[in-house]
């Protein structure tokens, strides 16, 4: 074998040794709670389709209608000729949703959340990267980490969800680097692998004190948080011109894409300068057309019912009996992680659940810190309470099968 391939093969072998090799299963059915995988029907707790809209017939029909009206592809980037009426309507809709929380709110539809995060961080630093510092939560999503790298600004990582530690770091940085005039604080609103919330009111207060931007990645908040599903800003009732909001549209909204909402001037700067927005083909207009339907469901009374059902599912899972060595993270969202620890153990658990007809992915480093390998259990409004019972029984059976002693029932009850 030639040397270059040999080097890659050796690195792949090392992943095997560390139980870090990932593989993909091929689904033969739509994203739903019951999926066909490798010829078997499985109950899935994997997807980010929190409201169960990805295969909703009304959304699918809107996608079809959008394709009939606007074709299969956009044909060009937004600044050339790919920007179509449904993209503009989508931007207006999401700007309208965030308008109570962001002054002079304007939307910008971007093809993916990953690209939107690159766009925001690179563009906010771009006028003067040497005079910019990005303060980034230790558990931020990979796309925010990559956006911070792309920006060429200084990056200071602050301890997870710790506004007090951030305050100290910002104060220290201000005295040590007086030339830095442009500050950006960036955070997930709901942390994707932990399910907890960022302390947005405290972070915003700091940003206002320092004249800093607060970039909020609401990938797991949009559709799930807030009475109308507008996300984390609605949930906390924040309002500020400092906020740059980003929501993804492939999760609770059930389709694909992302939207940035910020002050008109910020969005105009992004349109002019954000390379991951400019130098890529606009998403298919049909996707934006389908999103107009799904987002209307999200904000409707039906959307509220779906969010209430999601909360009921979470409560139904509350009393699952698990071995002491495993722990659940305190999460008030649809993301219910179960930390098992070592890679080999979590893989064994995921396999045992798979044998029982449940599909839940094992999440390992570098997606989560080493030693905190976990099952990332996610609920969807399309799940039933019976599905959650099945999950609980399967977890309890798998725990016994792995030889991990279950706590006594009376110990587990409050």
Ligand X SMILES: *Cc1c(COP(=O)(O)O)cnc(C)c1O
Does position 147 bind ligand X by CB under 6 A? Answer: no
Least Cβ distance, residue 73 to ligand X (angstroms): 18
Q: Which stretch binds ligand X (CB under 6 A): 18-26, 109-117, 224-232, 288-296?
A: 109-117
In contact, 377 and 195? CB cutoff 8 Å = no
Q: Can you give the length of the chain in residues?
A: 414
Buried b / exposed e along 148-161 (16+ C-beta atoms within 10 A): bebbebbbbebebb
Least Cβ distance, residue 76 to ligand X (angstroms): 21
Query: One symbol per residue from 164 to 193: x for binding ligand X (CB under 6 A), - otherwise; what is it?
Result: ------------------------x---x-
**Residues sharing a CB contact under 8 Å with residue 166, sequence separation 6 or more, in sequence order:** 135, 158, 185, 203, 206
CA angle 329, 226, 47 (to 5 degrees): 50
Binder of ligand X out of 143, 293, 372, 380 (CB under 6 A): 143
Distance in angstroms (rounded) separating the CA atoms of residues 346 and 339: 8
Least Cβ distance, residue 62 to ligand X (angstroms): 19
The string of DSSP letters for 194-235 reads: T-PBP-HHHHHHHHHHHT-EEEEE-TTTTTTSSTTS--HHHH
For ligand X, the closer of residues 143 and 151 by Cβ is 143
- What's the token pair of residue 41? 């029907």
Query: One symbol per residue from 288 to 307: x for binding ligand X (CB under 6 A), - otherwise; what is it?
Result: --------------------
- What's the token pair of residue 111? 């093809």
- Count of residues engaged in binding ligand X, rule: CB under 6 A: 14
Binder of ligand X out of 109, 219, 267, 352 (CB under 6 A): 219
Least Cβ distance, residue 49 to ligand X (angstroms): 12
Query: One symbol per residue from 240 to 279: x for binding ligand X (CB under 6 A), - otherwise; what is it?
Result: --------x-x-------x---------------------
Distance in angstroms (rounded) separating the CA atoms of residues 113 and 153: 21
Please give the residue ranges that form the binding site for ligand X (CB under 6 A). 112-114, 117, 141, 143, 188, 192, 217, 219-220, 248, 250, 258
């Amino acid at each position: 074998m030639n040397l270059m391939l040999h080097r890659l093969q050796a690195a792949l072998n090392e992943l095997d040794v560390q139980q870090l090799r990932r593989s993909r299963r091929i689904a033969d059915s739509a994203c739903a709670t019951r999926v066909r995988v490798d010829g078997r029907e499985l109950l899935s707790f994997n997807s980010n389709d929190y409201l169960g809209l990805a295969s909703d017939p009304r959304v699918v029909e809107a996608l079809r209608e959008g394709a009939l009206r606007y074709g299969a592809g956009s044909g060009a980037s937004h600044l050339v000729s790919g920007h179509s009426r449904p993209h503009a309507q989508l931007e207006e809709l999401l700007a309208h949703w965030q308008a109570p929380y962001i002054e002079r709110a304007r939307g910008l539809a971007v093809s993916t959340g990953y690209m939107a995060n690159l766009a925001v961080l690179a563009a906010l630093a771009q006028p003067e990267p040497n005079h910019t510092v990005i303060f980034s939560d230790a558990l931020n999503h990979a796309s925010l980490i990559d956006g911070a790298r792309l920006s060429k600004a200084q990056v200071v990582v602050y301890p997870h969800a710790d506004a007090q530690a951030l305050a100290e770091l910002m104060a220290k940085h201000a005295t040590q680097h007086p030339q830095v005039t442009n500050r950006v604080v960036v955070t997930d609103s709901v942390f994707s692998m932990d399910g907890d919330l960022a302390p947005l009111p405290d972070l915003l207060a700091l940003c206002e004190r320092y004249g800093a931007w607060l970039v909020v990645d609401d990938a797991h908040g949009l559709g799930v948080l807030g009475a109308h599903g507008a996300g984390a800003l609605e949930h906390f009732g924040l309002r500020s011109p400092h906020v740059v909001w980003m929501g993804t549209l492939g999760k609770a909204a059930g389709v694909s894409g992302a939207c940035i909402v910020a002050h008109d001037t910020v969005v105009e700067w992004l349109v002019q300068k954000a390379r991951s927005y400019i130098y890529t083909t606009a998403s298919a207009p049909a996707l934006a057309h389908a999103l107009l339907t799904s987002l209307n469901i999200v904000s409707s009374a039906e959307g509220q019912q779906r969010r209430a059902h999601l909360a009921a599912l979470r409560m139904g899972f509350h009393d699952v009996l698990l071995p002491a060595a495993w722990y659940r993270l305190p999460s008030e969202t649809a993301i219910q992680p179960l930390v098992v620890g070592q890679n080999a153990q979590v893989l064994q658990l995921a396999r045992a659940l798979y044998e029982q007809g449940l599909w839940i992915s094992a999440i390992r480093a570098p997606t989560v810190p080493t030693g905190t390998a976990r099952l990332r259990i996610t609920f969807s409004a399309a799940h039933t309470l019976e599905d959650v019972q099945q999950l609980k029984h399967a977890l309890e059976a798998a725990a016994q099968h792995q030889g991990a002693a279950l706590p006594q029932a009376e110990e587990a009850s409050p």
